[in-house]
Every structure is written in C-alpha cells, then in structure tokens.
Structure 1
Amino acid sequence: MSQIFDFSNRESVESTMKKTWNDFRTAFARGDLKYDEVEKAKKVTFLKVFDDLFCNHGGINYLTKSLGDISKYSLGRGAKLKKDERIDYERFIPKNEYITVDNRFSPAGIEWLYLALGSQDSIQDVAKREIGILSGDRFGFCYFNISNSFYEKKVVDLTVANEIEFDDINRSLENFASNCMQEEIKQTLMTRKITTTTEKDELIKKLMKWCVFTYSKLLSEQIFLPVETNEKKLEYTPFQAMAKYFITLGYTGIIYSSTVYPDGKNIVLFDKNMAYPVDTIIDIIV
C-alpha cells in the first residue's frame, strides 16, 4: 500500500488528501490532463493512491453495491418548470441538447441520469435544493425505478461511511486487537510484508476496512463541497475523471453525497436507460 497516506493519523490523512486533490485538480486546470485520460490520470498522486488502496488492495469491495441493493430505496428527479410548461415523463429524461453545462461527473451534452436517492419524502427535498428551487417556483418531480434487468450491475458507493463517526471507525479496530498488535499490522501492511496466519489475515482485513472507511469519510467531507456556478467547469473536471476511472473498472454508476442538503444522497447512472419514470408526476408551486 502506498505510504503517502498515514492512516493512523486522521489529521495527516486530511491534510495530505486536500493537497493531493488540489494537485489533481491543478493538473486538469493547467491542461496537463483531460478528463478521459484515465491511464495518464492514474499516474497523478491522488488517483494513484486511490487506485492502490481501492483497486490493488481490494478496498473497493467495501464500496461496491449492486443496483439491486439500492432498488429498495426511492429514486427521483426534479425539475424547475416554466409557468406555462406542459410536462410528461419525457421532461425528466436527460437529453443532450438541454445539457448545456457541466454536471459533477459528466461534461455538457452527456446524457447520464442523475437521481436523488433515499426515503420517498426526503428525496423531493434533496432535489429542490440541488436544482435551486425557491419560494414561488414551479417544481416538478418524478419517481424512478431501477430496471430489473440491470439489478446485477455494480455501482460505487462513496457515502458508505457517512453515518459513522471517526471515533466509531477507530473503535471498531481497537475492539478487535490490542494497540501493539494494530501497530504491528499497520507496519506489516505498509511494507507489504503480509503474514499468512489466520489471526493476522483477519487483522489486515479489519485494517483495510478501517482505511477505506476513513478515506471515504474524508473524501465525502473534504472534497464533495458546493461549487459556485462560475467555477463548475474547473472544479468538476477531476470528478469527471474519477467517473471515467470507475467505468474502466466496470462500474455503472456512483452514489455520492449531496453538497447542498444535509444527509442527502444522489446517484448518477452512466446509462440513462437503467431506470425508468413511474407514478404520477408531482407538479406544485413551492
């Protein structure tokens, strides 16, 4: 495992993550990288470390869910409607001619399906905040279902540790082994001298989960932040590169935190046909 991140020190991880993300972002801003140059991007520290931890060391298994797993949640898409606009299901299906600005994970013109994810009631509130609905605005909302034929497809869940406190993440490891044994395993894992004994193999699994949850929580809290409209092109490019990276690993979508609604979640599906609109369209004046 890369030694760039010392996962035994949260403050160190947080500081290093911010720096490596900023370097990653700067590489795109300078024109050194394009969002679809995945192999080239994997040589930059942020994605190199991410790939090492999540792909090469199996950490991605903790973040992987199937579309069948998330089908138990409600999904939906909102829209800010014009006063005299007539609407039907087609209004909520992405079409490239109307996608004139970048989204977080996709450039302008890309027809990926962005949906709020959660309870039936909360996702409407998430959608309102995401599209900037204000008092007096006309708000449309449509629920979606995942198509059964795509239930086996896998998505990356970057929110896996959102509801867990850092102290709880640390405590789960502490409860399993003594401090001295933890340090021994940390050093073993960092130097790649991995023992094959049953006890230490189990400790390594626990440590990997600890690293993944710590990294994911910091990623969610420190990087998934609101972006001003005039900065979207610059700030979204590294996220678009991450999406391309996940596509190369065979993923079909990403679950991520809402940056404008506390505890809200969204999902982006790389194929808009994986979900379809259902039920009566909600059409209200807020």
Structure 2
Amino acid sequence: MGHFFDFGNIKNNERTIRKTWDEFRDALAMGNFSYDDIEKAKKCTFLKVYNDLFYDNFGIKHSTLKLNALDGTLVGRGCILKKDEMPEYERFIPKKEFIKNDNRFSPPGVEWLYLALGNESDIHQCAQAECRAHVGDEFGFCHFALEKAYGDIKIVDLTIADDKSYEQLNHMLESYGNAQVKKGVKIAKILGRVPQYSVNKTEFKRIFTEWAVYTYSKLLSEQIFEPIDDSADKGIMYAPFQTMAQYYRSLGYSGIIYGSTVSEVGRNIVLFDKEIAKPCGSIEKYTVS
C-alpha cells in the first residue's frame, strides 16, 4: 500500500523553524516587546504557530506531566568549588544576589531552581557539563528531593520526542491512515459498493495532533536547543527561551524539562519556585577526572 500522507521535506521544516525562531529572537533584541509581554510575543510567527498547536488545539497535553510522575527519578545540582571550600546546603540554593548572568529560561536575579534529571551517573555528568567543569576542578554535588506537597503541579516536558526518529513518528500516522483505508475497503466488499465513508473526525484530530506535537517538539529540540558560544550575548540568545518560560507560566505551568546542550546524557529541569525541591543527603565533594 502506498503512502497515505505526504510528510514533505523535513529539511524545509527545519529551515522554517530556524527562521521563525531567529525572527522571534531579533524582535526581542530590537525591543519590539519584552520577554514577559506574552500577548505581543504571540504576534510573532514562531509563538503564534506554537500557541495554535499546543494551546488552541490542546497539543500541550502530550507534553504535560505532573511533578509526581518524576517520583523515583533522581535530581541534583552541582557547583565548582574553591580550593578547600566545604559546601553546605545553602551553596546549592539559588540567591538573586549571586545570579549575575542570564540563564537559559530566566534573566539575572531570578531565583529559579535548575537541576539535572536522570539516573545517578547521568545527573553527575550532566551537572558537571552544565557548570563547564574541567578535569582537575574541585566539584560539589548535592541531591535534591522533590517536595510531595507540590506533586500535582504541571511541568512541560520538551524532551518527549528526543528518543524517537522521524520515521517512527511518521509510521504512527501512516499506520492510522492505512487502517482507515483497509476499513473502507472491507465495508465496500460487504456492501458491494463504495460507501460514503468518512474518518472519525475526533479520532483523526487526536492522532494527527499527537503526531504534530511530537514532530514539532523534535524539530525544536534539534534546531533550537544548541550550545551558546561563550562570545555570544547570552541576554539576546536566551531572550526567546525566557519568553517561552513566561508563556508556560501564563498557562499555569511550574517548570520545564529540557535537554542538555552540553551533556550527552541526562536532562535538565527548571522549577519556577525554588521551594519545590529541597537539598537532601550528603554533599559530595570530589575532583573532576
């Protein structure tokens, strides 16, 4: 059976994503709107299209999880230490007076909690990479515990498609289309004529939206989440990410799971309230090898 859908040229989609993201960033850099002015931001093509898919058509439910879904997943935070420094829990808590630079999702002075997320080995490796630690550096690492009282808060997961290929995503939609064709042929044989057969619109919208969300998420992950060069103006480069964080906040979300651009393993989570997770266990101090 031939292809039921034309999935088009993925390279063209990648270029479109990149182009609209660059336009989004440039509009922020020129001061057309501030990072927290979501209504104006939604007039930009990138966020307009994103909002249409993820909010107006309810696609974001595929990227939504409650914090308690992370039960059993380890989280932690690291820092490069001074020689002979003996860190305590406070060393790992964000304080605005020490946040002088832009972070990916928050501007200077904002006390959001950034944590590595994964298994024991991955969170250490990810934390070291995020801190730009080098061999020979003294490093401190502290595990955190997600507070049970916040178990029902909503988190948006931007990594839902990271472990899937475009072929796998397309196969899901293609299989549905082929199944509908086979169903129509079967009915035609029973009736002895071609029926006025129509696809269940609600079911089709659900399946198509899921495919679109996963495909768009994969495009975003591959085309937008890239390492920022040390010579780049992080205030400009991070501004669209910071706007997206405000967009999610406006929809009632309390954090974002996202892939690391500097570590091959582990993921990151940023929590908009630093009280959502607390330091726990013994603080580890070691030399990066």
Query: TM-score surpassing 0.5?
Result: yes
Percent of matched pairs sharing the same residue:
48
Matched, 1:277 2:279: yes
**Alignment-derived partner of residue 142 in structure 2:** 142
**Alignment-derived partner of residue 11 in structure 1:** 11
**Alignment-derived partner of residue 102 in structure 1:** 102
DSSP-derived class of the 1:132 partner: coil
Is the Cα–Cα contact under 8 Å of residues 7 and 13 in structure 1 kept in the other structure? Answer: no
Matched, 1:33 2:39: no
Using the TM superposition, give the Cα deviation of residue 268 of structure 1 relative to its aligned residue in structure 2, in angstroms.
0.2
Is the Cα–Cα contact under 8 Å of residues 125 and 265 in structure 2 kept in the other structure? Answer: no
Q: Distance in 1 between matches of 2:280 and 2:241?
A: 30
Residue correspondence of structure 1 range 115-264 to structure 2 within 5 A: 115-178=115-178, 199-231=200-232, 232-264=234-266
DSSP-derived class of the 2:256 partner: strand
Instruction: Return the letter of the residue paired with 2:137.
Output: D
Q: Distance in 1 between matches of 2:39 and 2:177?
A: 38
Matched, 1:81 2:51: no
Using the TM superposition, give the Cα deviation of residue 264 of structure 1 relative to its aligned residue in structure 2, in angstroms.
2.6
Instruction: Return the letter of the residue paired with 1:199.
Output: N
Instruction: Return the letter of the residue paired with 1:59.
Output: G
What is the CA deviation profile of residues 190-226 of structure 1, one whole-angstrom value per residue up to 9, with x for unaligned ones? xxxxxxx773321221111110000000100100000
DSSP-derived class of the 1:145 partner: strand
Q: Distance in 1 between matches of 2:263 and 2:180?
A: 41
Is the Cα–Cα contact under 8 Å of residues 220 and 257 in structure 1 kept in the other structure? Answer: yes
Q: Distance in 1 between matches of 2:9 and 2:151?
A: 38
Is the Cα–Cα contact under 8 Å of residues 7 and 211 in structure 1 kept in the other structure? Answer: no
Is the Cα–Cα contact under 8 Å of residues 144 and 278 in structure 1 kept in the other structure? Answer: yes
What is the CA deviation profile of residues 79-126 of structure 1, one whole-angstrom value per residue up to 9, with x for unaligned ones? 000002221111100001111100000001100000000112210000
Instruction: Return the letter of the residue paired with 2:226.
Output: L
**Distance change (3 Å), C-alpha of 1:92 and 1:7:** farther
Q: Under a length normalisation based on structure 2, what TM-score does the superposition of the two structures give?
A: 0.89
Is the Cα–Cα contact under 8 Å of residues 106 and 112 in structure 1 kept in the other structure? Answer: yes
DSSP-derived class of the 1:31 partner: coil
Is the Cα–Cα contact under 8 Å of residues 126 and 265 in structure 2 kept in the other structure? Answer: no
Count of aligned residue pairs for this structure pair: 266
Q: Distance in 2 between matches of 1:127 and 1:217?
A: 23
DSSP-derived class of the 2:18 partner: helix
Instruction: Return the letter of the residue paired with 2:242.
Output: Q
Q: Distance in 1 between matches of 2:265 and 2:224?
A: 15
Is the Cα–Cα contact under 8 Å of residues 71 and 145 in structure 1 kept in the other structure? Answer: no
Using the TM superposition, give the Cα deviation of residue 31 of structure 1 relative to its aligned residue in structure 2, in angstroms.
1.4
Task: Kindly name which structure, 1 or 2, has the bigger radius of gyration based on alpha carbons.
Answer: 2
DSSP-derived class of the 1:230 partner: coil
Q: Distance in 2 between matches of 1:87 and 1:273?
A: 20
DSSP-derived class of the 2:238 partner: helix
Using the TM superposition, give the Cα deviation of residue 9 of structure 1 relative to its aligned residue in structure 2, in angstroms.
4.0
**Alignment-derived partner of residue 21 in structure 2:** 21
**Alignment-derived partner of residue 51 in structure 2:** 51
Is the Cα–Cα contact under 8 Å of residues 139 and 285 in structure 1 kept in the other structure? Answer: yes
What is the CA deviation profile of residues 40-96 of structure 1, one whole-angstrom value per residue up to 9, with x for unaligned ones? 101111001100000000000000011101122100000000002221111100001
**Alignment-derived partner of residue 72 in structure 1:** 72
Using the TM superposition, give the Cα deviation of residue 13 of structure 1 relative to its aligned residue in structure 2, in angstroms.
1.8
Instruction: Return the letter of the residue paired with 1:36.
Output: D
Q: Distance in 2 between matches of 1:145 and 1:230?
A: 35
Q: Which runs of 5+ in 2 are unaligned?
A: 1-5, 182-197
Using the TM superposition, give the Cα deviation of residue 180 of structure 1 relative to its aligned residue in structure 2, in angstroms.
8.9
Q: Under a length normalisation based on structure 1, what TM-score does the superposition of the two structures give?
A: 0.89
Is the Cα–Cα contact under 8 Å of residues 74 and 119 in structure 2 kept in the other structure? Answer: yes
Is the Cα–Cα contact under 8 Å of residues 66 and 154 in structure 2 kept in the other structure? Answer: yes
- When structure 1 is superposed on structure 2, of 139-148 and 28-37 the one drifting more is 28-37
DSSP-derived class of the 2:120 partner: coil
**Root mean square deviation of aligned Cα:** 1.6
